[in-house]
Amino acid sequence: MITLGFGFFLVTFSWFLWKRHLHLPSDLVSQNFHIAGQSHFNFMWVRLTNLLNTFLPVHLLAYPFDLSGTLIGSTVNVAGAVGFLAYGLCLLHCSDIRLSEIWTQVAVTVGVPCLLLVSVFSNSAVPALHGLQVLVPLLIFGISLRLEKYRPLFRTMILGSQVMVNVILFGLYLVSIGIIHNPR
């Protein structure tokens, strides 16, 4: 925790020195953290909304189904970027009680900064584009390591199915925007 705090201080301090050196007017913290006239309820509500929109597969809630909207929504959502099947396995393994020491370390080193990043914004934001990009490969790497305890056939089926879903959806998207012509 001390290392995490020191790293935050070092990066933040460097930014403030750079800002002062260039005489940049900056209200980055205040413009994101509090909006004038915002009620206390909405101050908390927008953070909950941003948290859910960032970590849950809300891009799948579109009705009626819109392929373009679903694909674009999946790119700004951790669950969509990792992939629904892989993300489901990741959540399953996060609940594994035998790994509590490892998950405590992961929660402190990865989870706390992610939650802090999401909780900064007082407006509807897309935190996945403001620093959570590193979380996606970490989750993919972590679930790949955890899949090693399963049989090769299961691993191949899960990851192959995820890749196949991604390729099909992306192909349909390219057809829908006219890059690939539908032979009908």
DSSP string for the chain? -HHHHHHHHHHHHHHHHHHHHHT----HHHHHH--TT--HHHHHHHHHHHHHHHHS-GGGG-SS--HHHHHHHHHTSHHHHH-HHHHHHHHHHHT-GGGHHHHHHHIIIIIHHHHHHHHT-SSS--GGGTTGGGHHHHHHHHHHHHGGGS-HHHHHHHHHHHHHHHHHHHHHHHHHTTSS----
Mean local confidence (pLDDT), 50-55? 89
- Residue range 75-114, pLDDT digits in tens: 888 888 888 888 887 777 766 655 666 667 777 777 788 8
Mean local confidence (pLDDT), 112-131? 82
Tokens of 33: 């953290």
Look at residues 49, 129, 121 and name the one whose alpha carbon lies nearest to residue 81. Answer: 129
Instruction: Look at residue 41 in the predicted model and tell me its pLDDT.
Output: 93
Instruction: Look at residue 163 in the predicted model and tell me its pLDDT.
Output: 87
Instruction: Look at residue 95 in the predicted model and tell me its pLDDT.
Output: 64
Q: Does 28 score more than 60 pLDDT? A: no
Contacts of 153 (CB under 8 A, 6+ apart): none
Instruction: Look at residue 74 in the predicted model and tell me its pLDDT.
Output: 83
Per the confidence metrics, is the pTM higher than 0.85? no
CA distance readout (Å), 178 to 44, 131, 139, 172, 174: 42, 32, 33, 10, 6
- Residue range 39-51, pLDDT digits in tens: 889 989 998 998 9
Percent of the chain exceeding pLDDT 90 equals: 3
Chain position carrying tokens 């032979």: 183
